[in-house]
Structure 1
């Protein structure tokens, strides 16, 4: 698994781990293919959706490790 941080671009996460999409969708990030998603970091996307970036990052890592 590649390293994911608060500064990782959403597009990079999804291109390296497309199986992560449900984790994003569970918190209301449904427009992952939109132009904003390709230019946003994980932290920026979380803040735009009122989600704590550190908590989400932990959820994402746990999910990906469980696969």
Structure 2
């Protein structure tokens, strides 16, 4: 079951699932503390960094599901 989706805010996901920080970083989104991360959703952040959105969402959900 997919909980994290592309419309969710980056910081919203990190606050709810702290273990996703490593997933964001491994996909090339290492600037989770930057100002843009505060207002961008996952899709916007992925587009800005040229990241495969589907792969990122899949990996984020894999990690989030392990926390349940």
Asked if these proteins are the same fold (TM beyond 0.5), I'd say: yes
Residue equivalent to 2:21: 21
Aligned residues: 66
Structure 2 spans left out of the alignment, 5+ residues: none
Query: Which digits, 9 at most, give the CA deviation of each residue in 1:9-66, with x for residues without a partner?
Result: 0010011111110000111211101110011000011111111212210111112223
Runs of 4+ in 1 over 6 A off after TM superposition: none
TM-score (norm 1): 0.86
RMSD: 1.6
Tell me whether 22-31 or 57-66 shows the greater mean CA deviation. Answer: 57-66
